[in-house]
C-alpha cells in the first residue's frame, strides 16, 4: 500500500517522529507507587505525589534515569553530563498539578542517529519525563484515572529526516526492537507502553527548505495505525495543496484505528509552556565511569546482530532480518546453532525461519509455546545433512517434532524412517517399476528426460526413505544396463 501511494504522490514527504516509551521500572518516576497499573482498578495506584497534591515532593527514580541514558547511548546520542528536570506548564484535566516534570534545554541525550539501512535517521534528543493520567470520555461525562499519572516516560525525538513511508515503518520497528533488546521497556503497544507522534508536511519536489507548516498527530498506538495515519494525511494535505491552500499548523487526533485524523488545537510553541527548572529536584550530574558502566549493559543491538549473522554465517540479509526481529527468536536460533558446524548454520537458519516459523504461524503457536527444542532442530538438520534421512522425510519428522516435542533421532528410529542405503534393495524396486512402466522407455525416444517420472514412482515405493540422486542413478544404471 505505502509504495503505490508514495509513487503516485506529487509532493515530497517530510516526516519526523516523537516516540514515548514507558521505562521498565517497578515504581513510578517521582514516587514509590507501583508502575504496573495496566488492568488495575482506576485510581488504585496513586499517592499525593502523582496526584499532584500541594506540598508533595518528587524524588527521581534512579533506575528510570539509567534506562533513559541506556536508550540514549543505544541510539548513539551524546549525553549532557550536567542535566536537570524542568516544569512544562499547561493545564489539562489529567494533569492535576498543571505542569509536567520533563526536560527542556538539557535533555539526557542529544544528537544521536539510527541506521535504517538506506540512510541514517538523526535523533534530536532523548529525554525523561512523567506520564499523565487518563481521561475516559462517555457521552455524558468524563472520568479521570490517575494510575498512569507519574509513570516514567522516555521521549525520543527524531529530526524530520524521513522521506519515505517504508523508512518510517522500518525505523518504528527497529526502535521497538532496540528498546526491547536493551531491556529499556517491554514496549507492549497494546498496553500503551510505546506511542508515536507524527510530525508531517509535504513540499513540492526540489524545494530546498522545509514547508512553512507542520501537522502533528498525537497518540498513535501501533505501527499499522501509524501507516494509515500517514496515508490519510498525505491525501488530506495534498488535496489542500492542490487547491493552492496551505494546511494549517495544528495538532490533530484520532477517534479510532482507521487513521482518520481530526483537528484538536492550533499548535503551541515551546514558549507557551513557560518552561522553568524544577525547583524541587537538584541538577543531575553523570561521571564518565557511570556512563561507561551503563553503556556496558546495552548488549548486542539488532543491527549489530544482523551484521554478525551476515558476516559470520553468510546468511542473506532478508533471512538475517527475520531472525533478529525479536530477541527471543535470536536466542532460540543461537541455541540451535550452538556447537553446530559452521557449514550447517545457514541450513539451520533456513529450517527455522522457513519451516519452523511456518508451522508456528499455521498453528498459532508462540515461540514460548514451541515444543521443538533448539538443539533438536540442529539434530534434524544434521541427520539430513549426513544423508541419514531424505528431505521429504525431514519435513515429516519436523511436523512430528512440532506435535510431540520428541527428538528427531528417536522419531526416525521408532518409525524406521532412515534412508534405505541397501543399494541392492533399491535396484530390486527400480527393476520392478521399470517393468511396470514400459511406456516410459518408449517416451524416452522423444524425450530423454521421460525417465524422471520413474524417480517419483520409486520414491513413493520407498516411502520417501531414499535420496533422490541415488534413486536416479540406480534407474539410469538399470536403463543403460
Ligand atoms: Zn504516586
Listed by start position, the domains of the chain span 2-296, 302-415, 423-479
DSSP letters for 223-252:
HHHHHHHHHHHHHHHHHHHHTT-----EEE
Q: What is the DSSP letter of 246?
A: -
CA of 197 to the centre of ligand 1 (A): 26
CATH class of the domain comprising 423-479: mainly alpha
CA of 56 to the centre of ligand 1 (A): 10
CA distances from 159 to 125, 135, 336 (A): 9, 30, 40
CA of 83 to the centre of ligand 1 (A): 24
The pLDDT profile of the chain, 481 residues, written as one tens digit per residue, is 667 777 778 899 999 999 999 999 999 999 999 999 999 999 999 999 999 999 899 999 999 999 999 999 999 999 999 999 999 999 888 998 999 999 999 999 999 999 998 899 999 999 999 999 999 988 899 999 999 999 999 999 999 999 999 999 999 999 999 999 999 999 999 999 999 999 999 999 889 899 999 999 999 999 999 999 999 999 999 999 999 999 999 999 998 888 899 988 875 666 788 999 999 999 999 999 999 999 999 999 999 999 999 999 999 999 999 999 999 999 999 999 998 988 899 999 999 999 999 999 999 999 999 999 999 999 999 999 998 998 889 999 999 999 999 999 999 999 888 888 788 888 889 999 988 888 888 888 888 888 888 898 888 888 888 888 888 888 988 888 7
Residue 62, judged by CB atoms within 10 A of its CB (0-12, 13-18, 19+), counts as exposed
CA of 32 to the centre of ligand 1 (A): 6
CA of 129 to the centre of ligand 1 (A): 14
Q: Give yes or no for a contact between 85 and 102, defined as CB atoms under 8 angstroms apart.
A: yes
CA of 94 to the centre of ligand 1 (A): 14
Number of other CB atoms surrounding residue 61 within 10 Å? 24
The three cell numbers of residue 418 are 532412515
CA of 35 to the centre of ligand 1 (A): 9
CA of 175 to the centre of ligand 1 (A): 29
The three cell numbers of residue 181 are 533488546
What's CA 71's distance to the chain center, in Å? 16
CA of 24 to the centre of ligand 1 (A): 16
pTM: 0.89
CA of 353 to the centre of ligand 1 (A): 45
The three cell numbers of residue 413 are 528410529
CA of 29 to the centre of ligand 1 (A): 9
Q: What is the DSSP letter of 26?
A: S
CA of 82 to the centre of ligand 1 (A): 27
How far is it, in rounded angstroms, from Cα 193 to Cα 175? 13
How far is it, in rounded angstroms, from Cα 434 to Cα 481? 12
CA of 134 to the centre of ligand 1 (A): 15
The three cell numbers of residue 326 are 525479536
CA of 40 to the centre of ligand 1 (A): 14
How far is it, in rounded angstroms, from Cα 275 to Cα 59? 19
CA of 277 to the centre of ligand 1 (A): 21
Bridge partners (DSSP) of residue 201 are 14
CA of 22 to the centre of ligand 1 (A): 16
How far is it, in rounded angstroms, from Cα 374 to Cα 270? 53
CA of 149 to the centre of ligand 1 (A): 8
State the alpha helices, DSSP H only, in 255-389: 288-296, 302-313, 317-324, 327-336, 342-350, 357-362, 374-385
CA of 473 to the centre of ligand 1 (A): 77
CA of 28 to the centre of ligand 1 (A): 7
Nearest to 275 by CA among 30, 126, 102: 102
CA of 151 to the centre of ligand 1 (A): 9
Q: How many helices (H) and strands (E) does the chain have?
A: 17, 16
The three cell numbers of residue 24 are 521498565
How far is it, in rounded angstroms, from Cα 332 to Cα 221? 29
CA distances from 247 to 60, 205, 221, 236, 241 (A): 41, 17, 24, 9, 7
Helix axes 327-336, 342-350, angle to 10 degrees: 130
How far is it, in rounded angstroms, from Cα 127 to Cα 104? 8
Amino acid at each position: 500500500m505505502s509504495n503505490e501511494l508514495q509513487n503516485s504522490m506529487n509532493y515530497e514527504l517530510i516526516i519526523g517522529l516523537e516516540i514515548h516509551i514507558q521505562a521498565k521500572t517497578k515504581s513510578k518516576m517521582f514516587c514509590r507507587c507501583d508502575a504496573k497499573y495496566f488492568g488495575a482498578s482506576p485510581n488504585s495506584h496513586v499517592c499525593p505525589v502523582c496526584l499532584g497534591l500541594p506540598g508533595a515532593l518528587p524524588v527521581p527514580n534512579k533506575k528510570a534515569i539509567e534506562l533513559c541514558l541506556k536508550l540514549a547511548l543505544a541510539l548513539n546520542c551524546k549525553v549532557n553530563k550536567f542535566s536537570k528536570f524542568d516544569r512544562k506548564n499547561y493545564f489539562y484535566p489529567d494533569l492535576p498539578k498543571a505542569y509536567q516534570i520533563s526536560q527542556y534545554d538539557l535533555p539526557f541525550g542529544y544528537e544521536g542517529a539510527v541506521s535504517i539501512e538506506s540512510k541514517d535517521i538523526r535523533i534530536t534528543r532523548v529525554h525523561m519525563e512523567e506520564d499523565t493520567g487518563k481521561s475516559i470520555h462517555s457521552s455524558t461525562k468524563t472520568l479521570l484515572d490517575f494510575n498512569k499519572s507519574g509513570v516514567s516516560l522516555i521521549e525520543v525525538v527524531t529530526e524530520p529526516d524521513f522521506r519515505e513511508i517504508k523508512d518510517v515503518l522500518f525505523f518504528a520497528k527497529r526502535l521497538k526492537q532496540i528498546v526491547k533488546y536493551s531491556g529499556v521497556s517491554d514496549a507492549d503497544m497494546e498496553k500503551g507502553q510505546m506511542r508515536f507522534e507524527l510530525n508531517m508536511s509535504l513540499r513540492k519536489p526540489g524545494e530546498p527548505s522545509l514547508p512553512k507548516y507542520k501537522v502533528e498527530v498525537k497518540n498513535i498506538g501501533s505501527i499499522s495505525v501509524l501507516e494509515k495515519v500517514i496515508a490519510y494525511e498525505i491525501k488530506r494535505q495534498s488535496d489542500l495543496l492542490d487547491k493552492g491552500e496551505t494546511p494549517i499548523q495544528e495538532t490533530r487526533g484520532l477517534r479510532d484505528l482507521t487513521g482518520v485524523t481530526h483537528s484538536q488545537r492550533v499548535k503551541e510553541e515551546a514558549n507557551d509552556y513557560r518552561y522553568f527548572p524544577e525547583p524541587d529536584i537538584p541538577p543531575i550530574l553523570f561521571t564518565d565511569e557511570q556512563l561507561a558502566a551503563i553503556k556496558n549493559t546495552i548488549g548486542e543491538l539488532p543491527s549489530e546482530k544482523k551484521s554478525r549473522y551476515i558476516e559470520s554465517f553468510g546468511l542473506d540479509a532478508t533471512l538475517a532480518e527475520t531472525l533478529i526481529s525479536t530477541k527471543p527468536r535470536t536466542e532460540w536460533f543461537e541455541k540451535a546453532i550452538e556447537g553446530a558446524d559452521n557449514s550447517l548454520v545457514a541450513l539451520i537458519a533456513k529450517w527455522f525461519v522457513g519451516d519452523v516459523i511456518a508451522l508456528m504461524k499455521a498453528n498459532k503457536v508462540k515461540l514460548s509455546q514451541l515444543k521443538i527444542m533448539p538443539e533438536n532442530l540442529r539434530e534434524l538438520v544434521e541427520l539430513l545433512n549426513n544423508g541419514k534421512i531424505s528431505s521429504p522425510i525431514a519435513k515429516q519428522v519436523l511436523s512430528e517434532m512440532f506435535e510431540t516435542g520428541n527428538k528427531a533421532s528417536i522419531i526416525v528410529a521408532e518409525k524406521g524412517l532412515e534412508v534405505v542405503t541397501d543399494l541392492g534393495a533399491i535396484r530390486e524396486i527400480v527393476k520392478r517399476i521399470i517393468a511396470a512402466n514400459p511406456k516410459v522407455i518408449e517416451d524416452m525416444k522423444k524425450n530423454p528426460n521421460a525417465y524422471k517420472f520413474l524417480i517419483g514412482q520409486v520414491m513413493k515405493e520407498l516411502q520417501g526413505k531414499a535420496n533422490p540422486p541415488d534413486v536416479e542413478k540406480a534407474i539410469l544404471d538399470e536403463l543403460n544396463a
